[in-house]
Amino acid sequence: MKASPWLVPTRSNPSARLRLFCFAYAGGGASAFASLARSLPSSVEILSVQLPGREGRFHESPLTQLPEVMDGVARAVGDVLDKPYLLFGHSLGALIAFELTRHFAAQARPLPSALIVSGKRAPQMPSRRRPFSRLPDEEFIQEIANYKGTPASVLENRELMELVLPRLRADARLFDDYEYRASGPLPCPIVAFGGTDDPHVNLDELAAWRELTTTFSSRVFEGDHFFIHGNQHPVASALSEVIESTIAAGKPVLRCA
């Protein structure tokens, strides 16, 4: 497999019959899925997308425009479509994974066996969040705190926040400036994960992913926006269902829960 700074091997398995690409939430890097990956079947190879400005690419300037992000991600993922694959993204990562699938569909490239979107309203639904990427620092930090994904000890550390604020603002701009452009439903299944107490994505907004595909299923977990960490075991079990059914039958199956 061709090495790329955009892809970090979370679990290598050259003999795997299926590959899982993971896309982190705003401010997150490839390591965001390390713990979850340990609970997934060993029969899948796992690669996590690493955007500029994250972890091992911290010295690089973060990207603020989605076309720039998509160009790098599409090139990297497009080079390793030699076996069936799944895309799994949470929040911002779900949006990037969705747009990547649409890009591959437009280019007649192999599509994922399933697109798994987590903690993200369907993109055609109107946003309920106010744009905040350009707010003054204190207001911006409060908006980040509202997502409950960053420890207070980090948010209150001024020196650390000076380092990470440009990266967080860049990710917030990707959300703020995104404009959904309608197209036909994707010919690959979409599986949507949501949290019961996620204030940013309600169940109607989650279910609206159904409009964007020919095959849809969903699962709701106890927890807030970051239920993938707070309720990791059930999330891993649901992901494992999708992985194992895709390997066994060539299509994802997620039982109603």
Cα–chain-centroid distance for residue 198?
16
The residue type at 253: V
Residues with a catalytic annotation lie at 91
Contact 47, 14 (CB under 8 A): no
The residue type at 18: L
- H or E segment to which residue 70 belongs: helix 66-78
**Which residue has 């990707």 as its token pair?**
174
- H or E segment to which residue 164 belongs: helix 158-176
Contact 157, 121 (CB under 8 A): no
The Cβ of residue 231 has, within 10 Å, a number of other Cβ atoms equal to 16
* Widest Cα–Cα separation across the chain: 51
